Amino acid sequence: MHVPDGFINAPISAAAGVVAAGAIAVSLRGARRELDERTAPLAGLVAAFIFAVQMLNFPVAAGTSGHLLGGALAAILVGPFTGVLCVSVVLLMQGILFADGGLTALGVNITVMACVTTVVAYAVFRGLLKVLPGGRRSVTAASFVAALLSVPSAALAFTLIYWIGGTTDVPIGKVATAMVGVHVLIGIGEAVITALTVGAVIAVRPDLVYGARGLRQKLQLRIGGELVDAPAPAPEPAAAEPVAARTSHRTVWLSGLAASLVLAGFVSFYASANPDGLEKVAADKGIDEKVEDHAAADSPLADYGVKDVDNVRLSGGLAGVIGVGVTVVAGTGVFWAVRRRHGSDTSPTSVENV
């Protein structure tokens, strides 16, 4: 759903940029409360994973494909504020390095793909957890529904922005019907990917899943033919926990990075070549009549290929690997900086100065 330059007029693009900048500023403050020494590098990995999976367009209808937006996945894994930053980092890397999503439309893309998806998904997710029985299955099920609803919500947000500032005269009802219809189908793919990923992480390290914090799976024993809650186990020695946690966290991080590299560097070659939902609707309804060439169209990595590398498979694979590497470095740097700022803000010296 990357909006290119030329779809939205300059005043509304600028206004969306202001909204996006404000959302990022709020998210930077909120992320300080969500991030710690374990989750800061995980957030960088989540950004890289979203970048990788967004390269995997999957077919959803005749001549149309879709890809992960990632707002729901990021919000549930690392928190809603950090989730906005994760998707924003991905969109920035894609726009600057890969000419994917217009630079003047960056504010629109962050507003629609980062802010709307994250806010809607996390609100739905938390609401469902309040009514579902406690447990890992409920977290996974809530993740599925939240991700499913986040995608058509983003489609409606784009439709609203287009209605206010679209550069072509197309009946808004037709745009809304087409956008929501195809993105409901894309939302199913988003929901499957999100639920599978959240379920995989929660099975290994539930404490690393922000949306599952405080989750305690009760152990039950069968006594006299009836299930009863087992007594809570005695806490393990504090000295033994950090070493095991660090080892497991490192394994999770390396496994996630390896999966991202494989997906972007190899599996992406087999992704659907059909236009995604927004591209298809734009072509069918005439929204793309005034689309503009991307300012980074001459980038060495434009269109997810390495310039002067003739082998298509090698070119796309190298571009994907470079993208994952740049995104994980940029994302981790941002989140470590946010985490350090939080540490300095809460240090004894800072408190005394206040």
For residue 288, what are the CA distances in angstroms to 215, 223, 353? Answer: 47, 67, 55
Tally of structural domains, the chain: 1
Is 278 a member of any domain?
no
Is 70 a member of any domain?
yes
pLDDT, residue 71, reads: 97
235 has a pLDDT exceeding 70: no
Least Cα distance to 251 among 86, 42, 82, 83 occurs for: 42
pLDDT, residue 38, reads: 79
Per-residue pLDDT tens for 82-125? 999 999 999 999 999 999 999 999 999 999 999 999 999 999 99
Among 92-101, 151-160, 225-234, where is mean pLDDT lowest? Answer: 225-234
pLDDT, residue 153, reads: 98
Report the predicted TM-score, pTM, of the whole model to 2 decimal places: 0.88
Taking each helix axis from N to C end, the angle separating 39-54 and 312-345, rounded to the nearest 10 degrees, works out to 150
Per-residue pLDDT tens for 28-76? 999 999 998 878 889 999 999 999 999 999 999 889 999 999 999 999 9
Per-residue pLDDT tens for 295-306? 999 999 999 999
Range of the domain at 36: 1-212
| Amino acid type, 46 | V
pLDDT, residue 247, reads: 46
Is 28 a member of any domain?
yes
Taking a C-beta distance cutoff of 8 angstroms, is the pair 271, 172 a contact? no
| Amino acid type, 194 | T
Is 246 a member of any domain?
no
User: From CA 305, how far away is CA 67, in angstroms rounded?
Assistant: 18
Is 141 a member of any domain?
yes
Is 229 a member of any domain?
no
Is 68 a member of any domain?
yes
Q: Cα 57 vs. chain centroid, distance in angstroms? A: 15
User: From CA 58, how far away is CA 68, in angstroms rounded?
Assistant: 9
For residue 148, what are the CA distances in angstroms to 62, 91, 119, 162, 193? Answer: 20, 21, 13, 22, 10
**What CATH number should be reported for the domain holding residue 156?**
1.10.1760.20
Is 224 a member of any domain?
no
pLDDT, residue 31, reads: 95
Instruction: Output the six-digit token pair for 39.
Output: 């989750």
DSSP codes joined into one string, 111-146: IIIIIIHHHHHHHHHHHHHHHSPSSHHHHHHHHHHH
Per-residue pLDDT tens for 194-207? 999 999 999 888 88
